[in-house]
Amino acid sequence: MDLRGTYTAFIKKHAAELGFDHCGIAQAVQLDDDARRLEKWLHQGMHGSMHYMENNFDKRIDPRKLVDNARSVITLLLNYYPQETQRPDAPKVSKYAYGHDYHEVIKAKLNTLLARMQEQFGAVSGRGFVDSAPVLERAWAQRSGLGWLGKNGNLIHKQAGSFFFIATLITDLELEYDGPVGDFCGSCTRCLDACPTGALVAPGVVDGSRCISYFTIELKELLIPDKMQGQFDNWMFGCDACQDVCPWNRFSKPNNTVEFTPIPEILNFSTKDWEELTEEEFKRIFRRSPMKRSKYAGIRRNLRFVNS
């Protein structure tokens, strides 16, 4: 085995030891096809008020502009599918937000993986990214053989579905590269049919400005537009509609990450409990939750909207 094989085997072994469920690697190159798709998507205004999506376009499409002399993009998947779900009569919360903030959990794992690589191989440059930097995670996951982009825009793994966080580690190490897999959505349109707001405007194209997750998390306005009234299907924070109906998610299994254990209140709160929640209680209960991103005022706004 040459050095590339040695490095690759080490990385995949330690990624698994750190709890990542899947690891794939692709060569660091400019993503020309994805650049064209992103440019069209932005031009059509499908990012709504998420103006940060317009920034750092050159870095989004070329990892070599994020890490000097980048040669490889390592993509890692971490399962977040929960053991239990909410009571059926409560305002709905996306499953990714049941436990602790994934940014904190995954960033720590990425830092540990990079530290082990540096300890083993010497002077290795690299940067880890989790959903908060200009990286096209799903494109890299697809190029790394970890799945295909479903008609709902999510990465789908043939053996495990789509309830995964995607993390990226860009490094200057030259590694062995995995190849992409085929698309296995076939003629299925369940996700397109299930989207409550019609945000899935074409196979693989999500109009972010019509997505429930956009309105309940990203939108910072005091009010959700009246035209969306009655379309949220009781989703208060995020939305899993297109994933819940996906046939490939019959293979989803509960995650093994302790930090993703559901916060008891998310599982047990009734509508009344949510409505009576004070700001002090919100800050205490959800201090380590992704829900803190919407802040107390955002959760109150969302509750009023879905209950009106």
Residue positions forming the annotated binding site: 60, 131, 152, 155, 166, 185, 188, 191, 195, 211, 213, 220, 239-240, 242, 246
Q: Give the residue among 96, 213, 230, 206 at the shortest CA–CA distance from 154.
A: 206
Q: Give the residue among 10, 34, 46 at the shortest CA–CA distance from 137.
A: 34
Distance separating alpha carbons of residues 43 and 193, to the nearest angstrom? 25
For the annotated binding site for tRNA, the residues are 220
Check if the beta carbon of residue 122 is closer than 8 Å to that of residue 94: no
Say whether 193 is catalytic.
Answer: no
Rounded (10°) CA dihedral 238, 244, 245, 251: 150
For the annotated binding site for cob(II)alamin, the residues are 60, 131, 152, 155, 166, 213, 239-240
For the annotated binding site for [4Fe-4S] cluster, the residues are 185, 188, 191, 195, 211, 239, 242, 246
Q: Where are the beta strands (DSSP E) in the chain?
A: 22-27, 72-79, 92-93, 126-129, 148-149, 155-156, 164-171, 200-202, 205-206, 235-237
Distance separating alpha carbons of residues 101 and 179, to the nearest angstrom? 31
User: 240 vs 36, 194, 267, CA distance in Å?
Assistant: 28, 10, 16
Q: Which residues of 13-44 are buried (b: 16+ CB within 10 A; e: fewer)?
A: ebbeebbbbbbbbbebeebeebbeebeebeee
Residue 9: how many other CB atoms lie within 10 Å: 13
Active-site residue, from 2, 34, 62, 131? 131
Q: Which residues are catalytic?
A: 131
